Amino acid sequence: MRRDRQPGDAPELPQVPRVGQPYPLSPQQRRFAAFYLADATRSWANVQLRLALPAAADTELVRTVLRLLVARHPSLRTRFTHDGEEVRQTVAAPADVPLDLVERHADPASVARELIAVPVPLTGGLPYVTHLVRHPAGDELVLVLNHMVTDGTSQEILRTDFAHITGHLWDGAPLPAVPPAPAYAEYARHRSAAEPAESERLWDFWQNELAGVRPTCLPREGIAAPRPGQDTELTKGAFTALRLDAGPERLAALAARHQCTSFGVLMGLFTRALTARLERDDAVLLVPTTGREPATATVVGNFHNILPVRVRRAEDLAGTVRGAQAALARSLDHQWMQLDHLVERLGMHPADDPYPLSSVLFNAIPGASPLLPADAAEAAGPLPYDVRYDLMGVVRTEAHSLVLELHYRSALMTPDSAGQLLQAFAAQLTPQS
């Protein structure tokens, strides 16, 4: 979800970080660490890029690609260290970054599934691993990064830059200049200093918006919360997914009918299905936002925020959808109070399980689903990584279809129950709804 700050909200910041100088975490990094890094044995912080390589890619040439990518993006040269109870980040010079590249002969998809489940340490080195995977069907570079140095927008920036660099080295295409933008470490320093006053200003809104709210989570009678380093059924996840042909047209028609954005419609429909299952009249959905300012649109780093949106179920679909749109707009207008500070002010702790305030995340992502093959109408099965939320609703917008996904904790929901919830969500995206 995107609602950027406007130009003028932040001063012009240095474009080059000071090499070797400790910087504070940004508010977004601190929030992420509080929720996801309390248990270093989990793979919650992993994000992955699979990058196809040109045919017969020489290993040293691949190292050159990495060297240029690292030089263009200081976040890929960032190390994290503990300073007492605080975590600091330090940026190295490009020449001081070791290009550790593990070369393997295997199926890239199998390697990707293996690596996504192995936690990438935050400290002790650079927070990512790179594997060069050789395969007769095509070689790939598989990068697994700790989310502390990247986000969804950053992943696309890295993918685009990788294509530019390989085109430059293999075909002689011009290499675009790095766009002028503040260094992430300088952004972190600025936002860290500005945050206390801003959070205090926003607290009154959130205190009123969430008054009397009950945490939104799946029932867990008799199921103990997982302990750090302890594998339990509660850390394992599964998914169910289905494709709706002509879904984008149906969604657009609903949005026009109810005078809402497509995302507002999806939130309202998901809330109706979820609250009916949980037998309650409201739900708090956690919604990822880009958290970017116009000046940082081309910067690689962790900018995203998790925004709580309290949606109330109305008597009819139209009322729920319009209420979801209004609640989303209110929350977006006050999104710069980070969720870790918010839950602490509400008397909760970020490392609690279930996820405090809400353990249900909802998101819409453009592009094909990695879980549902292009020729399949539905699919279900286990997830290859640890899960932090009880439930995630994800809508993928493809060219001529919508893919609806539910990711859930296997101990809290059976496959049949998950399928029924997904069908209840999907049934509302029909021409009769």
Q: Is residue 202 part of a domain?
A: no
Give residue 8's pLDDT. 45
Give residue 432's pLDDT. 58
Q: The domain spanning residue 216 has which CATH number?
A: 3.30.559.30
Q: Of 187, 221, 252, which one is at a domain's C-terminal end?
A: 187
For residues 35 and 144, membership in a common domain is answered with: yes
What is the average pLDDT across 8-13?
69
Q: Is residue 16 part of a domain?
A: no
For residues 311 and 349, membership in a common domain is answered with: yes
Question: Is residue 5 very low, low, confident or very high in pLDDT (cuts 50, 70, 90)?
Answer: low
| 314-327 confidence digits (pLDDT tens) | 999 999 999 999 99
Residue 3 has pLDDT above 60, yes or no: no
Give residue 351's pLDDT. 86
Residue 305 has pLDDT above 50, yes or no: yes
Calculate the dihedral angle through the C-alpha atoms of 332, 334, 338, 343, rounding to the nearest 10 degrees.
Answer: -100
| 86-125 confidence digits (pLDDT tens) | 999 999 999 999 988 999 999 999 999 999 999 999 998 9
Contact 235, 386 (CB under 8 A): yes
**C-alpha to C-alpha distance for 342 and 413, rounded to whole angstroms:** 28
What percent of the chain stands above pLDDT 90? 80
For residues 45 and 114, membership in a common domain is answered with: yes
Give residue 433's pLDDT. 45
Q: Rounded to the nearest 5 degrees, what angle is found at the Cα of 175, between the Cα atoms of 139 and 76?
A: 65
Residue 6 has pLDDT above 70, yes or no: no
**Claim: this prediction has a pTM higher than 0.85:** yes
Give residue 354's pLDDT. 84
For residues 378 and 419, membership in a common domain is answered with: yes
Q: Is residue 5 part of a domain?
A: no
Q: Of 156, 187, 218, which one is at a domain's C-terminal end?
A: 187
* Radius of gyration (C-alpha) of the chain in whole angstroms: 22
Q: Is residue 59 part of a domain?
A: yes
Q: Is residue 415 part of a domain?
A: yes
For residues 353 and 228, membership in a common domain is answered with: yes
Domain that holds residue 117: 23-187
Residue 228 has pLDDT above 70, yes or no: no
Residue 229 has pLDDT above 80, yes or no: no
Question: Please, which residues have CB within 8 angstroms of residue 279's CB and are 6 or more apart in sequence?
Answer: none
For residues 252 and 155, membership in a common domain is answered with: no
What are the residue ranges of helices labelled H in 311-427?
317-333, 339-345, 415-427
For residues 98 and 161, membership in a common domain is answered with: yes
Residue 347 has pLDDT above 80, yes or no: yes
For residues 244 and 364, membership in a common domain is answered with: yes
Residue 298 has pLDDT above 50, yes or no: yes
- Burial label, 347 (beta-carbon count in 10 A; 0-12, 13-18, 19+): exposed
Q: Of 187, 218, 239, which one is at a domain's C-terminal end?
A: 187
For residues 175 and 307, membership in a common domain is answered with: no
Number of domains in the chain: 2
Contact 354, 411 (CB under 8 A): no
Q: How many CB atoms lie within 10 A of CB 280?
A: 13
